[in-house]
Amino acid sequence: MNIHRLCLFLNNQQRAAVSAPRTNFLVLAGAGSGKTRVLVHRIAWLIEVEKCSPQSILAVTFTTKAAEEIRERLEELIGLLQNSMWIGTFHSLSHRFLCSHHIMANLPKDFQIIDTEDQMRLLRRLIQSMNLDLKQWTPRQGLWYINTNKEKGLRPNHIHRVSYPIEKTWLRIYRAYQDTCDRLGLVDFSELLLRVYELWRSHPAILDYYHRIFNTILVDEFQDTNNMQYDWMRSISGKSSHVMIVGDDDQSIYGWRGAKISNMQSFLKDFPLATVIRLERNYRSTSNILEAANILISNNNGRLGKKLWTNLACGELITTYCARDAFDEACFVADGIQVWVQNGGLLSECAVLYRNNAQSLEIEKVLSQRGIVYQVYGGMRFFQRQEIKDAIAYLRLIANRNDDLSFERIINTPTRGIGIRTLEVIRQLSREYDLPFWEASKKLLKDKALASRLASTSLQSFMELVDSLEEVTHTMPLYAQIERMLKDSGLWLMYLHKNGENGQRRIENLKELINTTRQYDSHHALYDKHEVPLRAFLAQSMLEAGGGSVHKSQDSVRLMTMHSSKGLEFAQVFIIGMEEGIFPGQISLNDAGGLEEERRLAYVGITRAMVKLTLTYAINRRLYGQECLHEPSRFIGEIPSKYIKNVHYSARATTNIPYHYKGTNTVSMVSNNDVRIIQRVQHEIFGLGTVMDTIGCGKKRRIQVNFDDYGVKWLLASYAKLKLS
Tens of pLDDT along 38-73?
999 999 999 999 999 999 999 999 888 888 899 889
**Tell me: the pLDDT tens digits for 512-528?**
888 878 766 544 444 44
Q: Give the DSSP H or E segment for 706.
A: strand 702-707
**Tell me: the pLDDT tens digits for 618-638?**
988 876 556 677 789 999 999
Residue 696 has pLDDT above 70, yes or no: no
**Tell me: the pLDDT tens digits for 323-381?**
988 999 999 999 999 999 999 999 999 999 999 988 898 999 899 989 999 998 865 56
286: three-class secondary structure by DSSP: coil
**Contact call for residues 581 and 630 (beta carbons, < 8 A):** yes
Q: Give the DSSP H or E segment for 622.
A: strand 620-623
Give the Å distances, CA to CA, from 415 to 133, 134, 340, 449, 462: 11, 9, 49, 22, 11
User: What is the C-alpha radius of gyration for the chain, rounded to an integer number of angstroms?
Assistant: 29
Residue 35 among known ligand-binding residues: yes
Residue 667 has pLDDT above 60, yes or no: no
Percent of the chain with pLDDT over 90: 55
Q: What is the pTM of this model?
A: 0.71
Give the Å distances, CA to CA, from 687 to 123, 681, 683: 59, 8, 5
CA distance 120 to 422: 24
CA distance 211 to 205: 10
242 — pLDDT class (breaks 50, 70, 90): very high
Residue 723 has pLDDT above 70, yes or no: yes
Q: Which of these is catalytic: 284, 506, 608, 621?
A: 608
**Tell me: the pLDDT tens digits for 557-593?**
999 999 999 999 999 999 999 999 899 988 888 888 8
Domains of the chain: 3-101+194-279 (3.40.50.300), 113-184 (1.10.10.160), 283-356+559-620+630-643 (3.40.50.300), 384-543 (1.10.486.10), 666-725 (2.30.30)
Q: Find out whether the peptide bond into 139 is cis, omega within 30 degrees of 0.
A: no
Q: What is the pLDDT, as a whole number, of residue 491?
A: 94
220 is catalytic: yes
* 714-719: average pLDDT: 74
CA distance 578 to 582: 7
82 — pLDDT class (breaks 50, 70, 90): low
* 271-277: average pLDDT: 92
CA distance 241 to 213: 9
**Tell me: the pLDDT tens digits for 138-177?**
999 999 999 999 999 999 999 988 778 888 999 999 999 9
Residue 29 among known ligand-binding residues: yes
**Contact call for residues 3 and 49 (beta carbons, < 8 A):** yes
35 is catalytic: yes
CA 280 to chain CA mean position, Å: 27
Residue 658 has pLDDT above 60, yes or no: no
Task: Give the pairing of strands 620-623 and 626-629.
Answer: antiparallel
Q: What is the pLDDT, as a whole number, of residue 523?
A: 44
Q: What is the pLDDT, as a whole number, of residue 655?
A: 34
Q: Give, in degrees to the nearest 5, the angle at Cα 629 between 626 and 632.
A: 130
251 is catalytic: yes
Q: Which of these is catalytic: 13, 61, 251, 690?
A: 251
Beta bridge partners of 353: 560, 575
Residue 427 has pLDDT above 60, yes or no: yes
CA distance 282 to 533: 52
664 — pLDDT class (breaks 50, 70, 90): very low
Residue 32 among known ligand-binding residues: yes
Q: Which of these is catalytic: 151, 188, 191, 220?
A: 220
CA distance 150 to 153: 5
539 — pLDDT class (breaks 50, 70, 90): low
Q: What is the pLDDT, as a whole number, of residue 406?
A: 83
| More confident: 659 or 163 | 163
**Contact call for residues 204 and 2 (beta carbons, < 8 A):** no
Residue 36 among known ligand-binding residues: yes
Task: Give the pairing of strands 186-187 and 86-89.
Answer: unpaired
Q: What is the pLDDT, as a whole number, of residue 624?
A: 57
Residue 34 among known ligand-binding residues: yes
702 — pLDDT class (breaks 50, 70, 90): confident
Q: How many C-beta atoms lie closer than 10 Å to residue 150's C-beta?
A: 22
Q: What is the pLDDT, as a whole number, of residue 383?
A: 77
Beta carbons within 8 Å of 412's beta carbon, 6+ residues apart: 418, 419, 423
Task: Give the pairing of strands 711-716 and 702-707.
Answer: antiparallel
Which amino acid type is present at position 167?
Answer: E
CA distance 660 to 646: 6
**Contact call for residues 413 and 491 (beta carbons, < 8 A):** yes
**Contact call for residues 617 and 323 (beta carbons, < 8 A):** yes
* 455-464: average pLDDT: 93
CA distance 351 to 558: 5
Percent of the chain with pLDDT over 70: 87
**Contact call for residues 252 and 600 (beta carbons, < 8 A):** yes
307 is catalytic: no
512-543 burial by CB neighbour count: b if 16+ within 10 A, else e? bbbbbbbbbeebbeebeeeeebbebbbebbee
239 is catalytic: no
Question: Shortest CA distance to 575 belongs to which of 557, 562, 594?
Answer: 562
Q: Which of these is catalytic: 13, 14, 35, 362?
A: 35
CA distance 28 to 12: 14
- Give 502-510's long-range contacts (Cβ < 8 A, gap of 24+): 502/140, 503/140, 505/356, 505/357, 505/358, 506/385, 506/386, 506/387, 508/356, 508/357, 508/358, 509/357, 509/358, 509/382, 509/385, 509/387, 509/388, 510/387, 510/388, 510/391, 510/486
Question: Shortest CA distance to 311 belongs to which of 581, 94, 11, 15?
Answer: 11
Q: What is the pLDDT, as a whole number, of residue 266?
A: 94
CA distance 690 to 677: 8
657 — pLDDT class (breaks 50, 70, 90): very low
Task: Give the pairing of strands 112-113 and 186-187.
Answer: parallel
Q: Find out whether the peptide bond into 632 is cis, omega within 30 degrees of 0.
A: no
Question: Shortest CA distance to 571 belongs to which of 612, 621, 614, 515?
Answer: 612
Q: Which of these is catalytic: 188, 221, 364, 512?
A: 221
